[in-house]
Amino acid sequence: MKKILILGAGLSSSSLIKYLLDHSNEHNWKIKVGDVSLSVAKEKIMNHPNGEAFEFDIFNEIQKEEEIKNADAVISMLPARFHPLVAACCLKNKKHMLTASYVSDEMKALNEEAKIAGIAFLNELGVDPGIDHMSAMKVVDKIKADGGKMLSFKSSTGGLIAPEYDNNPWNYKFTWNPRNVVVAGQGVSQYKQNGDIKYLPYHQLFERIETTTVPGLGEFEIYPNRDSLKFRAAYNLLDIPTMFRGTMRRPGYCRAWNVFVQLGMTDDTYVVENSENLSYRQFVNLFLNYDEKHSVEEKIAAKFNISMDSDIMYRLKWLGLFEHTKIGLKDATPAQILQQILVDKWLLGKDDKDLIVMQHQFEYEQSGKKHRITSSLVVIGIDTVQTAMAITVGIPLAIACKLLLTGSINVTGVHTPVKKELYEPILHELESYGIKFNEEEIEL
């Protein structure tokens, strides 16, 4: 019997755990799930005879060593900052490790040691990063194999609410960690456009947006996502003139969110004095000029040159920003306060279903003609546990674990799924879960 150790049983782990339990009899697996909350781990096991839940503390060195030593493969669903701690223990005990997170510099540094140990550290096996890499490389590799030259690659992903449950003016609800949404995009985004490198500081991020249309879903707007430039090497597209990765939202979201950015309400670097006794309205007013004559609403409208009955003001009012509701959070940062306000309004309802939408646009030249391939993915969740986010993060990770333990893939060292031997079998099985891209090609 082979033992799979899963560390972390949060929202994104649901479909991962279910897949491995569903296949446990067939492959003679034992699935152990550890989480800081024993009750959460037990929920995910669902009393399955091949599952076992336990309380896990990443800082308990004896426990960590014992659990990893007794596993054949370790899947870390912990926050990314803890992956190096797990990886070091996996390396010591010569155990495979898989994550859905971006490869950190610490993880990259373990490549040669992992090869010598004969183990695989497979990373970026979720949706973004993960499915985005696999689906992109499948098309890029085919274009190159057919003699085409890549001119442009644009890729965007959004975790949103399914259309039939989209019932608020922001066209958005939390389908993953709320904190990550609040602080998204901080730093400098960088990409390449028509041969020129572009750097976009955070205060301009939500002002420079692109638009696209996804068949069956309509229009979306896209803001740049982190560092697009590093993917030139990962995708073997070092000389490509245009390279862009973005995040998708429904039209109007970015202009409204930009109000929070410009005011400073997404800042997480300092504590607001007396935060627990402030109201939402007083919190907003902290970031506006002193003016006895004009209301908070009027000052917002004047600062952003919008009318009192504009769509942006309607979105802000709908959130309750101008109400006298007490914050109640002691020693809170602006970002933490904003998160609380949003959580009150953006939580998934008990019957809601979420949506993952992803789109790639490839432009290439072949035989003197230019072409564009648009590849789109739409996944709708089953319920609030088996969400589209959980499915698209967890299933590719679970498939990779199965392929590794059954010997269907045989790699050592640190990897992401950009090689055909990794992406091809994972994408093939994902289709049986409805995770399939629809492609349209036109000649330009």
Q: Is residue 287 included in any domain, yes or no?
A: yes
Cα-Cα-Cα-Cα torsion 418, 421, 424, 428, nearest 10 degrees, comes to -130
Q: Most distant CA pair in the chain: distance in Å?
A: 74
CATH code where residue 182 lies: 3.30.360.10
Task: Report pLDDT for 168.
Answer: 96
- 55 and 147, same domain (yes or no): no
Q: Is residue 442 part of a domain?
A: no
pLDDT of residue 11: 85
- 164 in the same domain as 78: no
Cα angle 401-91-104, degrees, rounded to a multiple of 5? 75
Give the CATH number of the domain where residue 322 resides.
Answer: 1.10.1870.10
Does the pTM surpass 0.85? The reply is yes
Residue 129: what are its φ and ψ, rounded to 5°?
Answer: -90, 150
Residues 101 and 202 in one domain: no
Do 222 and 276 sit in the same domain of this protein? no
Q: In the chain, how many domains are there?
A: 3
Domain coverage including residue 44: 2-123
Residue 179 covered by a domain:
yes
Tell me, what's the pLDDT at 127? 96
CA 66/CA 256 separation, integer angstroms: 50
In a domain, 408, yes or no: no
Q: Do residues 76 and 180 share a domain?
A: no
Which two tokens mark 125? 């096996």
Say yes or no: 261 and 243 in one domain.
Answer: no
Contact 76, 124 (CB under 8 A): no
Q: Is 426 part of a structural domain of the chain?
A: no
Please indicate, yes or no, whether residues 273 and 305 belong to a single structural domain of this protein.
Answer: yes
pLDDT at res. 99: 97
Looking at residue 71, which CATH number applies to its domain?
A: 3.40.50.720
Q: Please report the pLDDT score of residue 292 as a whole number.
A: 85
Contact 435, 379 (CB under 8 A): yes
Give the end of a domain, one of 295, 324, 346: 346
* 434 located within any domain: no
7 plus 99 within the same structural domain: yes
pLDDT in tens, the chain (444 residues): 999 999 999 988 999 999 999 999 999 999 999 999 999 999 999 999 999 999 999 999 999 999 999 999 999 999 999 999 999 999 999 999 999 999 999 999 999 999 999 999 999 999 999 999 999 999 999 999 999 999 999 999 999 999 999 999 999 999 888 999 999 999 999 999 999 999 999 999 999 999 999 999 999 999 999 899 999 999 999 999 999 999 999 999 999 999 999 999 999 999 999 999 999 999 999 999 998 899 999 999 999 999 999 999 999 999 999 999 999 999 999 999 999 999 999 999 999 999 999 999 999 999 999 999 999 999 999 998 899 999 999 999 999 999 999 999 999 999 999 999 999 999 999 999 999 999 999 999
Task: Please indicate, yes or no, whether residues 42 and 99 belong to a single structural domain of this protein.
Answer: yes
Same domain, yes or no, for 137 and 150? yes
Last residue of a domain, one of 314, 346, 378: 346
Would you say residue 418 lies in a domain? no
- What gap in Å lies between CA 200 and CA 189, rounded to an integer? 5
Q: Residue 424: name the closest of 124, 133, 98 by CA.
A: 133
**Claim to verify: residue 15 and residue 38 sit in the same structural domain:** yes
Q: What is residue 175's predicted lDDT score, i.e. its pLDDT?
A: 85
What tokens appear for 18 in the block? Answer: 């279910």
Same domain assignment for residues 110 and 156 = no
**Which is nearest to 226 in space by CA: 165, 296, 149, 156?**
156
For residue 393, is it within any domain? no
Residue type, 115: K
